[in-house]
Amino acid sequence: MQATAMVNYHVTSDKQQAFHIDANGEKGKIVSPELAPTQVKVKDVRDGNIQLNFWEDSLLYVQSPSVIKDFTQSQDWRETYNAELSRLLAEQLGAKEVIIFDHTIRIDDPNSDRKPARNVHSDYSACGAIKRLEDILGAEEAKKWQDQHFAFVNLWRPIQAPIVSAPLGFIRPKSVSEKDWLLLQLIYPDRIGQIMGLTANAAHDWIYLSNMTPDDIAIFNIFDSKALPSIGHSALDVMGQNNQAFRRSIESRTLVRY
């Protein structure tokens, strides 16, 4: 079964494009480059006709209930949740070492500081990934990791309630051409990062898992030193869904050594 959704692709430009995060010192304010709203067809993995292999599709959905039920009241959940995710990555991907360096809670509320990302993107370019590796580990330790198989892997799950609006959609990497990607800067008040945006291509094979619950989790590849493709993704505005129900989710960013 297919759904119809709106996404925002990036557009090519002769100039360097950038997102300005917390622009003008205003927390939560994002100034984005030009985007192209586009209607796409999205296949539902829940239908059972789509078989995913992480090492081919850069994406895996698993059921992995957490003992943490409230991620918002304090930071006390981090140690327990980090241990859960580390075990999951060891079990599912064979990770030998996991460093969890960021958790982002997104709420699809106009008053939220962190809303769902509604641009088709992946979190790091190759240069951006190496820079982030050095930021996390330091230059000396980062060199050791670069001699091994390492990756940035994200884990995404709903919190508090099932997802009934703005689900996270993915483009299967085999349907993406190299020329579809472009480089974008992320300009923060204290640093500059580099991500990749995707331009529109009718060949893109969009998929998602409908009605994800807090027991469901998506594991997806952002950068891999052995050339496993980075997967393009975006929040989806699915036609006919209840967009008045605020989506709440947590995305955890990890550095993995295989």
pLDDT digits 0-9 by tens, 141-171: 999 999 999 999 999 999 999 999 999 999 9
Please check the confidence at residue 9 and state whether its pLDDT lies above 80.
Answer: yes
Grade residue 20 by pLDDT with cuts at 50, 70 and 90.
confident
What pLDDT, on the 0 to 100 scale, is given for residue 235?
A: 97
What pLDDT, on the 0 to 100 scale, is given for residue 22?
A: 76
Minimum mean pLDDT range among 114-118, 125-129, 188-192: 188-192
Residue 45 Cα distances to 7, 62, 142, 206, 210, angstroms:
18, 12, 36, 10, 8
pLDDT digits 0-9 by tens, 215-255: 999 999 999 999 999 999 999 999 987 666 789 999 999 99
What pLDDT, on the 0 to 100 scale, is given for residue 28?
A: 65
Could you tell me the two tokens for 158? 């709903």
Pick from 122, 130, 132, 129: nearest CA to 173: 122
Q: Which amino acid is at 190?
A: D
What pLDDT, on the 0 to 100 scale, is given for residue 243?
A: 62
Grade residue 188 by pLDDT with cuts at 50, 70 and 90.
confident
Q: 5 versus 114: which is more confidently predicted?
A: 5
Grade residue 1 by pLDDT with cuts at 50, 70 and 90.
confident
| Measured distance CA(12)–CA(142) in Å, rounded | 33
| Spans of all domains in the chain | 2-257
If one counts every other C-beta atom within 10 angstroms of the C-beta of residue 143, the result is 12
Grade residue 112 by pLDDT with cuts at 50, 70 and 90.
confident
Pick from 68, 134, 130, 128: nearest CA to 103: 68
pLDDT digits 0-9 by tens, 27-72: 767 778 899 999 999 999 999 889 999 999 999 999 999 999 988 7
Minimum mean pLDDT range among 15-19, 176-180, 184-188, 240-244: 240-244
Please check the confidence at residue 79 and state whether its pLDDT lies above 80.
Answer: yes
Query: What's the pTM value of the predicted model, to 2 decimals?
Result: 0.93
Residue 125 phi/psi, 5-degree rounding, is: -80, 175
If one counts every other C-beta atom within 10 angstroms of the C-beta of residue 113, the result is 13
What pLDDT, on the 0 to 100 scale, is given for residue 193?
A: 80
For a pLDDT cut of 90, what percent of the chain falls above it?
76
Q: Read off the pLDDT of each residue in 119-140 and give the average, rounded to a whole number.
A: 94
Pick from 219, 126, 114, 106: nearest CA to 170: 219
Give the HSE-up count for residue 13: Cα atoms under 13 Å, Cβ half-sphere.
Answer: 15
Alpha carbon 70 to its chain's center: 21
- CATH class for the region spanning 2-257: mainly beta
